[in-house]
Copies of this chain bind each other. A is one copy, B any other.
Amino acid sequence: MTATAPRRSGGRAARRDARAAPLADTLRPVRPGLDGGLYHPLTEAQMHRIHAAALDALEQIGLADAPPSGVEYMTRAGATLGTDGRLRFPRALIEDTVARANRAITLHGRDPRHDLSLSGNRVHYGTAGAAVHLVDAATGEYRESTVQDLHDAARIADTLDNIHFVQRPMVCRDIPDNREMDLNTLYACCAGTTKHVGVSFTEPEFVADALEMLHLIAGGEAAWRARPFVSNSNCFVVPPMKFATESCRVMEEVIRGGMPVLLLSAGQAGATAPAPIAGAIVQAVAECLAGLVYVNAVKPGHPAIFGTWPFVSDLRTGAMSGGSGEQALLSAGCAQMHKFYGLPGGAVGGIADSKLPDMQAGWEQATSNVMAGLSGLNMVYEAAGMHASLLGFCHESLILGDDLIGQALRCVRGIEVDEDTLSLEVIREACIGGPGHYLGAGQTLARMQTDYLYPACANRASPKEWVEQGQPDLVATATARKDRVLATRAPARFAADVDAAIRARFAIHLGA
**A40 vs B39: C-alpha distance when bound (angstroms):** 6
Q: Does B39 lie within 8 Å of A374, measured CB to CB?
A: yes
Q: Does B466 lie within 8 Å of A355, measured CB to CB?
A: yes
Contact of A474 among B272, B326, B354, B409 (CB under 8 A): B354
Q: Does A439 lie within 8 Å of B271, measured CB to CB?
A: yes
Q: Does B458 lie within 8 Å of A329, measured CB to CB?
A: no
**A271 vs B448: C-alpha distance when bound (angstroms):** 12
Contact of A417 among B49, B57, B270, B325 (CB under 8 A): B49
Q: CB of A133 within 8 A of chain B?
A: yes
Residues of chain B with a CB closer than 8 A to A397's CB: 359
Q: Does A273 lie within 8 Å of B438, measured CB to CB?
A: yes
Residues of chain B with a CB closer than 8 A to A441's CB: 274-275
Contact of A133 among B40, B142, B426, B463 (CB under 8 A): B463
Q: Does B448 lie within 8 Å of A354, measured CB to CB?
A: no
Residues of chain B with a CB closer than 8 A to A431's CB: 61, 64, 240-241
Q: Does A463 lie within 8 Å of B391, measured CB to CB?
A: yes
Q: Does A315 lie within 8 Å of B452, measured CB to CB?
A: yes
Residues of chain B with a CB closer than 8 A to A460's CB: 314, 317, 319, 321, 323, 353, 389
Q: Does A415 lie within 8 Å of B41, measured CB to CB?
A: yes
Q: CB of A178 within 8 A of chain B?
A: no
Task: Please name the residue on chain B nearest to A471 by beta carbon.
Answer: B140
Q: Quote the shortest CB–CB distance from A80 to chain B (angstroms).
A: 16
**Given A275-B443, A325-B410, A388:B462 Cβ within 8 A:** yes
Q: Does A421 lie within 8 Å of B276, measured CB to CB?
A: yes
**A332 vs B101: C-alpha distance when bound (angstroms):** 36
**A273 vs B185: C-alpha distance when bound (angstroms):** 51
**A422 vs B54: C-alpha distance when bound (angstroms):** 9
**A298 vs B509: C-alpha distance when bound (angstroms):** 78
Q: Does B453 lie within 8 Å of A324, measured CB to CB?
A: yes
**Given A359-B362, A366-B363, A427:B274 Cβ within 8 A:** yes
Residues of chain B with a CB closer than 8 A to A46's CB: 415, 417
**Given A282-B427, A408-B367, A354:B459 Cβ within 8 A:** yes
**A26 vs B40: C-alpha distance when bound (angstroms):** 24
Number of interface residues of A (CB under 8 A): 124
**Given A279-B426, A460-B321, A474-B360, A315:B366 Cβ within 8 A:** no
Q: Quote the shortest CB–CB distance from A206 to chain B (angstroms).
A: 28
Q: CB of A357 within 8 A of chain B?
A: yes
Q: CB of A484 within 8 A of chain B?
A: no
The oligomer's copy count stands at 2
**Given A426-B279, A460-B353, A475:B359 Cβ within 8 A:** yes
**Given A324-B407, A361-B359, A366-B362, A276:B463 Cβ within 8 A:** no
Residues of chain B with a CB closer than 8 A to A454's CB: 314, 316
**Given A400-B360, A431-B241, A282:B463 Cβ within 8 A:** no
**A259 vs B308: C-alpha distance when bound (angstroms):** 51
Cβ contacts A397-413/B at 8 Å (1 or 0 each) = 10010011011111100
**A105 vs B342: C-alpha distance when bound (angstroms):** 42
Q: CB of A283 within 8 A of chain B?
A: yes
Q: CB of A436 within 8 A of chain B?
A: yes
Q: Does A427 lie within 8 Å of B276, measured CB to CB?
A: no
Q: Does A142 lie within 8 Å of B463, measured CB to CB?
A: yes
**A324 vs B459: C-alpha distance when bound (angstroms):** 11
Q: CB of A490 within 8 A of chain B?
A: no
Cβ contacts A183-197/B at 8 Å (1 or 0 each) = 000000000000000
Q: Among the interface residues A46, A275, A406, A444, which one has the most CB atoms of the partner chain B within 10 A?
A: A275
Q: Does A282 lie within 8 Å of B424, measured CB to CB?
A: yes
Near B by CB (< 8 A), chain A positions 421-459 give: 421-424, 426-428, 430-432, 436-439, 441, 443-444, 447-448, 451-454, 457-459
Q: Quote the shortest CB–CB distance from A298 to chain B (angstroms).
A: 25
Task: Please name the residue on chain B nearest to A404 by beta carbon.
Answer: B363
